[in-house]
Amino acid sequence: MLISSHLISPMKEQKEVKEKTKDLEADDVYHSIQGDVKQDSGYFSRFIDSFKPMPSDENDSDMDTGLTDAQRTAIKTARNPMKQKLKSRHLQLITIGGSIGTGLFIGTGSALHTGGPAAVLIAWTLTGTMLYCTIQALGELASTFPRVLGGFNTYTSRFVDPALGFAVSWNYMLQWLVLLPLELVASSMTIKYWNTSVHPDIWVAIFYVFIVVVNLFGVKGYAEVECAFSLLKIIAIVGFIILGIVLCAGGAPNGLNNGAKYYYDPGAFAAGFKGVCSTFITSAFSLAGTEFIGLTATETLNPRKTLPSATKQVFWRILLFYMVSLTIITFLVPSNDPRLLGASSDASVSPFAMAIEAGGISGLPSVINAVILISILGVANTSVYATSRVLLGLSASGHAPKILSFVDRAGRPMAATAVTLVFGLLAFIAASEKEDEVFTWLLSISGMSAIFTWLLICFSHIRFRSALKAQGHNVEDLTFVSQSGVIGSWYGVGVNVLIFVVTFWVALFPIGERANVESFFESYLGFVVFWACYFGYKLWRKDFSFSFVPVETMDIQSGRVDMDVELLKEEIRQEKEFIRSQPFYYRTYKFWC
């Protein structure tokens, strides 16, 4: 039955009144912030003035001194000075294509060579289903607490343990911090595919200036550029899938029609069970960044509508862009092809280019290389956004220098952004003979941070649900409820622990090699760094207790959008009733999107 207009009207009017009131209040704040800036001042004057600090009348002295570390962190990070400029289209495109990069285009080749086609599909299926559950849990938390600085990193401090929150936040920050110089160097290496004679540092400088300029435009500049990059990557992946299906079905110009031959010769598994285990870390690396949606919540316009929709679309990215494209590759590229051993950002070693060449189609590797270059620049752009926001959250919670909490009138965390960009100058060692060694160790420092992050997102969700129940609330009070529920979060915890265990085994005893301390720490140093941060926090705070935040006193209110709960429940009820009244295809679409 369709909902009558007289039911929706009063709610819509109430909502419009509230939004208009908030807009008027926001305008008053804006004009008060402007101070002595004249409204008719020129663009340049307004631009310069935007770098002035955003005034705030809130300080730490207004908090009760008897608060625990977890409660104090919750209150501090809920004070959000950021601008909400991310729209639905921004979030959807960033969610679908934002983290598609060299992990998919290049890294999957080494996984295919090491593990074999069946191992690749097993690893990505387990990691993908785990990530689907993780993002569902994250979507519930981010929709409930959309105004918390630092995003999902602060959930661990609030719902599990401040020491674990400190460790996962610093590790996640390091993960993105090292990616800026790494991706800038990779971009200069990718350009070499076209045999350019330009010095690599010249390309690094060009791309570095591009990243700086984009981030001067704040969250909107980042979002528009990332949307454009994501759209191009999506078009490329969809085009490859269509072409790949044609090639697999026997439509190749050279008549290629191997069927499932490569599953028998050279075989479904290249190195047995250990080969399967070795592909897990590659699958995690290729899917890293999917959780990024939780970091954008603080700057999202109307998070109640946009966050749930973006959360659901993760399923399509995992299914379509990863599982379908990887399945096609396993039918077109043999795991014993020596080119798969290549580790550089080069289209010649991309399994996507190799699959196309197998069908007798030439010329497309240059297109693949262009897509790889776009992917690299997209990750470099995202690294500045992510690092600066995590640093801002760390500073707001008292876990990093206070100067990093500086936010200007345009809502840009300029101090944190400056630190990120200064670190990015390391990219100018692109011409150095030691560049590989330097970046191998930089990357190993935070190499496992994504797995720690996913594990603690799931565990934070479990703890949050426990607190919700202990404090007399239920899921009906939430704006979005995880489709996989607490069971999905326990599954996420289990798979992430499994990845840690198998990675330890393969790192300590590599396939076909003797145990090597250096290679072990290249793969597992991030694990050591995480626990060093954890125990370092314990020493710094002189807190040697190892208990979780009690669910009875857990803060499950700070950072939530102020709204009428009964009005929200009625609005959600009417939305569900409307969806139930629609045809099956519409209901299916709304469930997944």
Predicted confidence (pLDDT) per residue in 229-266, tens digit: 888 888 888 899 999 898 888 887 877 777 788 898 88
**Residues 385-400: what's their mean pLDDT?**
85
For 35-116, where are the alpha helices, taking DSSP H only? 43-49, 69-77, 88-97, 102, 108-115
Give percent of the chain above pLDDT 90: 17
Report the pLDDT value the prediction gives residue 364, as an integer from 0 to 100.
76
CB 294 within 8 A of CB 141: yes
The pLDDT of residue 259 is 75
Q: What average pLDDT does the segment 67-88 reach?
A: 64
**CB atoms < 10 A from the CB of 28, how many?**
10
Q: How confident is the model at residue 56 (pLDDT cuts 50, 70, 90)?
A: low
Most confident of 159-163, 311-315, 360-364, 569-573: 159-163
Global pTM reads 0.83
Asked if the model's pLDDT at residue 66 lies above 70, the reply is: no
State the pLDDT confidence band at 71, using cuts at 50, 70 and 90. low
* Residue type at 243 in one-letter notation: L
CA separation for the pair 33, 588 (Å, rounded): 47
> pLDDT: is 492 or 65 the higher one?
492
Say yes or no to pLDDT of 39 above 70. no
Per-residue pLDDT band for 486 (boundaries 50, 70, 90) equals very high
pLDDT, mean of residues 376-385? 88
Residue 324 tokens read as: 């379908």
Asked if pLDDT for residue 575 goes beyond 80, the answer is no
pLDDT band at 3; cut points 50, 70, 90: very low
Give me the pLDDT at residue 208, please.
Answer: 92
pLDDT greater than 60 at residue 343? no
Binned at pLDDT 50, 70 and 90, residue 8 comes out as very low
Per residue in 133-164, pLDDT (tens digit) is 999 999 899 888 877 776 777 889 889 998 99
Q: How many CB atoms within 10 Å of residue 55?
A: 11
pLDDT value, residue 23: 42
Report whether 392 contacts 150 (CB < 8 A): yes
- 44: tokens are 């340049």
Q: Of 404-418, 437-451, 466-480, where does mean pLDDT reach its minimum?
A: 437-451
What's the whole-number average pLDDT of the chain?
A: 79
322-333 mean pLDDT: 90
Bridge-partner residues for 408, per DSSP?
53
* Predicted pLDDT of residue 461: 95
pLDDT, mean of residues 314-318 = 75
Instruction: Count CB atoms within 10 A of the CB of residue 134.
Output: 32
pLDDT at res. 15: 45
Read off the pLDDT of each residue in 298-318 and give the average, rounded to a whole number: 76
Report pLDDT for 556: 84
Please enumerate in sequence order all residues whose Cβ is within 8 A of that of 396, keeping only pairs 6 or more positions apart, or say none: 76, 77, 79, 149, 150, 405
Helix, strand, coil % in the chain, rounded to nearest 5 = 70, 0, 30
What the block records as the tokens of 544 is 């040697």
Which residues partner with 125 through β-bridges?
A: none
Instruction: Assess contact for 74 and 150: CB atoms under 8 A.
Output: no
Q: Is residue 490 over pLDDT 90? A: yes
Assign 456 a pLDDT band (cuts: 50, 70, 90).
very high
Q: Please state the rounded mean pLDDT for residues 488-493.
A: 96
Which residues make Cβ contacts (< 8 Å) with residue 277, sequence separation at least 6? 502, 503, 505, 506
The Cα 194–Cα 120 span in angstroms is 30
- Which of the four pLDDT bands, split at 50, 70 and 90, describes residue 58? low
3-state secondary structure of 419: helix
Among the CATH numbers 1.20.1740.10, 2.60.15.10, 3.30.70.100, 1.10.10.60, which is that of 85-562? 1.20.1740.10
Q: What are the residue boundaries of the structural domains of the chain, listed by start?
A: 85-562
State whether residue 53 is helix, strand or coil: strand
Peptide bond before residue 266 is cis, with ω within 30 degrees of 0: yes
Taking phi over 0 as left and psi of -120 to 50 as alpha, with beta for the rest, 544 belongs to: alpha
Q: Are 532 and 544 in contact (CB under 8 A)?
A: no
Q: Please report the pLDDT score of residue 2 as a whole number.
A: 33
